[in-house]
């Protein structure tokens, strides 16, 4: 018997109910219902029926409310980690690095996924790369980065493995920081090599130069899971000049040696949970004009 039909039968106090067959399951075709008055007193019967009607309406309302709540619930973020940790990383994120073998291809893919335009960035003269940006909040952004065809760099591997990736994907992330020398020293004492601190710059499309300090982005850092650190100093944060169409809402970190990765993260001042998986990876959940996009 269906749920709704059963509720109506049970709660409305009907004086009919199924009579099972002796020869098998189901209801006897020739004796479908047995009648039995609920109460001989008319007033009591009416009062009981009223009570059951109210109970029935209440139960149906609750079932409807549960269904409505389930339909209204936001899309969940698939993760093997505690959701609290996925949100805890957010305050450290300066930008996510989305490496692509071809910048134009990466830009097109992101625009299709997000439903918003990507802002051209500029060229990194020292690295032989160029990039484009999407705001993810007031002080965070997605960096789409690829090789600069106008600049030949012989160094291998290339920055962020852009000479090795076969498709656009998240390869690492940058954490905001200050006193980078102290962060590097603290990490080294725990056996984590962030490399040296250097000064870098990027030529903007309008001809101005953007400058910053950062730890070595070439350092392995457990397959890119541990961030490199960046300090913009007195320079305005790049996200401040970007259209605010998207928002970073969660970051999940994955690594084959999850416990070791968690300790390494803690050594650079970031306490979070790392999921145990076959390969190192970053999963970001981003609220966009097209809905929530899970980027990997």
pLDDT, mean of each 10-residue run, the chain (296 residues) = 43 44 45 44 55 60 46 33 67 96 95 96 83 96 91 70 86 94 92 92 78 92 94 90 95 95 92 93 97 96
Does residue 41 contact residue 48 with C-beta atoms inside 8 Å? no
Residue-range definition of the domain harbouring residue 202: 83-295
- What's the domain count of the chain? 2
Structural domain contains residue 173: yes
Structural domain contains residue 94: yes
pLDDT number for residue 19: 43
User: Sign of the CA dihedral 51, 53, 56, 57?
Assistant: negative
Does residue 272 contact residue 253 with C-beta atoms inside 8 Å? yes
- 50, 71, 92 - which closes a domain: 71
Q: How many contiguous H segments (helices) and E segments (strands) does the chain have?
A: 6, 14
Note whether 33 and 160 are same-domain residues. Answer: no
Q: Which two tokens stand for residue 155?
A: 């160094």
Note whether 282 and 149 are same-domain residues. Answer: yes
Structural domain contains residue 77: no
Q: Taking phi first (over 0 means left), then psi (-120 to 50 degrees means alpha), and beta for anything else, what does residue 235 get?
A: beta
Note whether 8 and 151 are same-domain residues. Answer: no
pLDDT number for residue 16: 45
Tens of pLDDT, residue by residue over 89-102, are: 899 999 999 999 99
pTM (predicted TM-score): 0.69
């Amino acid at each position: 018997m269906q749920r709704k039909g059963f509720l109506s039968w049970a709660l409305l106090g009907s004086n009919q109910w199924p009579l099972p067959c002796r020869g098998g399951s189901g209801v006897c075709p020739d004796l479908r219902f047995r009648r039995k008055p609920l109460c001989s007193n008319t007033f009591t019967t009416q009062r009981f029926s009223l009570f059951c009607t109210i109970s029935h309406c209440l139960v149906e309302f609750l079932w409807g409310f549960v269904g409505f709540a389930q339909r209204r619930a936001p899309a969940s973020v698939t993760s093997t980690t505690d959701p609290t940790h996925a949100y805890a990383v957010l305050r450290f994120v300066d930008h996510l690095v989305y490496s692509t073998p071809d910048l134009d291809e990466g830009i097109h893919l992101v625009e299709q996924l997000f439903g918003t335009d990507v802002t051209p960035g500029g060229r990194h003269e020292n690295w032989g790369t160029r990039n484009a940006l999407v705001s993810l909040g007031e002080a965070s952004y997605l960096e789409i980065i690829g090789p600069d065809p106008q600049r030949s760099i012989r160094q291998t591997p290339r920055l962020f493995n852009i000479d090795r990736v076969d498709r656009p994907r998240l390869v690492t992330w940058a954490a905001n920081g200050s006193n980078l020398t102290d962060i590097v020293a603290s990490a080294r004492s725990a056996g984590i090599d962030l490399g040296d601190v250097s000064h870098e710059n990027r030529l903007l499309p309008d001809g101005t130069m953007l400058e910053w300090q950062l730890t070595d982005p070439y350092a392995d850092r457990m397959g890119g899971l541990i961030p490199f650190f960046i300090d913009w100093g007195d320079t305005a944060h790049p996200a401040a000049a970007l259209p605010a169409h998207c928002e970073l809402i969660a970051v999940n970190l994955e690594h084959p040696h999850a416990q070791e990765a968690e300790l390494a993260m803690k050594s650079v001042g970031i306490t979070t949970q790392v999921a145990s998986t076959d390969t190192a990876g970053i999963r970001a959940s981003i609220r966009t004009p097209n809905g929530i996009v899970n980027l990997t």
